[in-house]
Amino acid sequence: MLDSLLFQISLIVFLGILSQWLAWRFNIPAIVIMSFAGLLVGPVLHLFDPSESFGAIFNPLISLAVAIILFEGSLSLDFREIRGFRKPIFRIATVGAFVAWILGSLAAHYLAGLSLPVAFVIGGLFIVTGPTVIIPLLRQAKLKERPASILKWEGIVVDPFGALLALFAFNVVLFLDGHSTGTALLAFFAASLFAVILGVGIGFGLGLILERGIIPEYLKSPTVFAFVLIAFAISDAVMHETGLLAVTAMGMIMANMHLSSIRDMRHFKENVSVLLISSVFVMLTASLSLDTLLSILDWHLLLFVLAMMFIVRPLSIFIATINTGIPVNEKILIGWIAPRGIVALTVSGFFATVLVDAGYEDGQLLTALTLALVFATVIVHGFSISWLADKLGLTATKEAGVLLVGGSPFTALLGKELQDLGKPVMIMDRNWQELRDARRVGVPSLAGDVLSEQTEYSVDLTPYEKMIVATPDDAYNALICSSFVPELGRENIYQTTMHMNNPHDYRKSLGGKLLFEATQDIHHLNELVEAGYVLRRTSVTEKYTYEQFMRAKDNTTIPLFVLRSDGALSFFVNGKVRNVEDGDSIISLVSPAIKEARIQERLEQEREKQTTPKD
């Protein structure tokens, strides 16, 4: 069975997605689990070797996957996102990359023992980070907007330039050693320029075609990916490694054309990217030999890795961000986080071969050197990014916040309770007047449409892991919920129940989970709040269980959510909530009569205590 290529492909995809799920379930960096999964089935257990099984198509498959991943990442590079910090990103991608190249090359020569020609080739390659490793880490760490954007932009923009810089250094080395003429250098610059023109031309032309409706909706995603692959293949055929530059230019042009079609395809592209990243990491690590793994334990290589992590990267970032307005804590985080990934692994294999063929025998060390740096940075940076961001005050939030869509007396009351519990909360509404109750009680509010493109680039929604949609428009509620399912997950999206007079039922195909009870739509909830209903907290203990609470409550009490003992929130859906345990608290909407009765009961208990004679 293991000899079956079909089974091996299926196993690779399965292991990749399983790694992603384990990373989500146990809050562990996904790239770490994917790397270990590949090592386990490859060099450790020797179940199969993808490079051997796939044969001649192994490298082309990896290259095409990297092209799609890089294109998908570059589609998120909208210049509106970095309106306030373009300068540091430009400086890091230029000055920072140049400093990292020089220092990294010197470290490879003096610490790893490589010859200067080989050192400058590999030093150029090691300026890359890339979306395959940065995006999963950013998703895990939940950084504040500016450091997250800087790391993302650097990873995507610098990725193709790392391969090009290594290619440039290789051509310069051959020229200086007399192995080639100046024509080869001119050909390099011409091929790079051609890649940019090709990417820009295809991106702009394809964008116009998509917007004019020349391509039917069901063919748009396949057409985009077909053009990505052909742009990469044409450019790479002209000169190896320039294809990455072409697809990056193509993606950035289309991202800044603000195409509605691209926005519609975003979730499909993200799903494809996750699948490819997972599979490629498993394939690459499973293809390694045990000898190659053992060779990275050489102390020269380990010393080089330490220098790259603790000297080269921080120094290049601090030099590049001088007079850019970036605070020290952000410089420290950005200067520490630089995991290398797929591009470094794939491109280093190409340069190891061509350098050895050109007579540089120490080029054979490139694979081991790259592996040492990739594994060290992926593991160390993967496990440290959240901790360091927290220590530096750069985490968006520790608590899982709640975004309430729809201003009303009820959402203001609920938002105030969540705020008092220490949860990040914000109320949004298209109408500024509808937010008057939120402003009155001091709950953060924002006038705007949560579905608008302007909100996407001007409002940081990172702190809010849960969304409650409670506008009077049932169809609008369902549309919002469906739009945010890919970002937040269906289990974190709620909406108030449909209005009793609404003839349409969106529950089977659209919308989020229906909150509270079937009869409690937003109109009724607002009426109750305006009638004086208040929130009451009930503690669940061994003596007073959740079952007792549910039996004892009357018809006027509406349980809203459970505050878990660990601080998590669980909202009642269709009148039910799961696994309420001792130490949890139930927050309910109760009538003022019940509140008054409880107060009167407590007063009588206090009076009895005072009048009871002491022994």
The CA distances from residue 580 to 490, 542, 550, 564, 585, in Å, are 21, 12, 11, 8, 9
| Residue 254 placed within a domain | yes
Complete edge-to-edge strand list for the sheet that includes strand 445-447: 445-447, 425-429, 401-405, 464-469, 493-495, 513-514
Q: Is residue 39 part of a domain?
A: no
**Same-domain check for residues 328 and 199:** yes
Same domain, 475 and 564: no
Task: State the CB neighbour count (10 A cutoff) for residue 277.
Answer: 27
Digit-coded pLDDT (tens) for 139-173: 667 777 788 888 888 887 777 777 777 878 877 87
Query: Are residues 441 and 362 both part of a single domain?
Result: no
Tokens 């080395």 correspond to what residue?
173
- Is 501 within a domain? no
Q: Confidence band (pLDDT; 50, 70, 90) for 596?
A: low
384 and 413 fall within a common domain:
no
Q: 132 and 152, same structural domain?
A: yes
Domain membership of residue 18 (yes or no) is no
Examine the domain organization and report whether 285 and 164 are in the same domain. Answer: yes
Domain span at 608: 532-615
Task: Determine the pLDDT at residue 609.
Answer: 58
pLDDT bin (cut points 50, 70, 90) of residue 446 is confident
The torsion angles phi and psi of 253, rounded to 5 degrees, stand at: -60, -45
- pLDDT tens digits, one per residue of 229-266: 999 999 988 887 788 888 888 988 888 887 776 666 66
Answer yes or no: is 516 within a domain. Answer: no
Handedness of CA 395, 397, 403, 408 (dihedral sign): negative
Averaged pLDDT, 427-433: 88
Q: Give the domain CATH number at 132.
A: 1.20.1530.20
Same domain (yes/no): 376, 403: no
Q: Are residues 309 and 455 in the same domain?
A: no
| 1 within some domain | no
Both 83 and 193 in one domain: the answer is yes
Grade residue 225 by pLDDT with cuts at 50, 70 and 90. confident
d(CA 325, CA 82): 14
Q: Could you tell me if 459 and 560 lie in one domain?
A: no
Q: Are residues 350 and 295 in the same domain?
A: yes
Last residue of one domain, picked from the residues 372, 391, 410:
391
Instruction: Kindly report the CATH number assigned to the domain that includes residue 419.
Output: 3.40.50.720
Domain boundary among 495, 524, 548: 495
- Per-residue pLDDT for 75 more than 80? no
Do both 486 and 548 map to the same domain? no
Q: Which two tokens stand for residue 250?
A: 């193509």
- Which class for 354: exposed (0-12), middle (13-18), buried (19 or more C-beta within 10 A)? middle
pTM of the model: 0.67
Q: What is the residue-wise DSSP string for 74-122? A: HTT--GGGGTT-HHHHHHIIIIIHHHHHHHHHHHHHHTS---HHHHHHH
Number of domains in the chain: 3
- DSSP code of 612? S
Write the pLDDT tens digit of every residue in 457-515: 556 677 788 888 888 888 888 888 887 876 777 788 888 887 655 545 555 555 678 88
Residue indicated by tokens 């996750």? 274
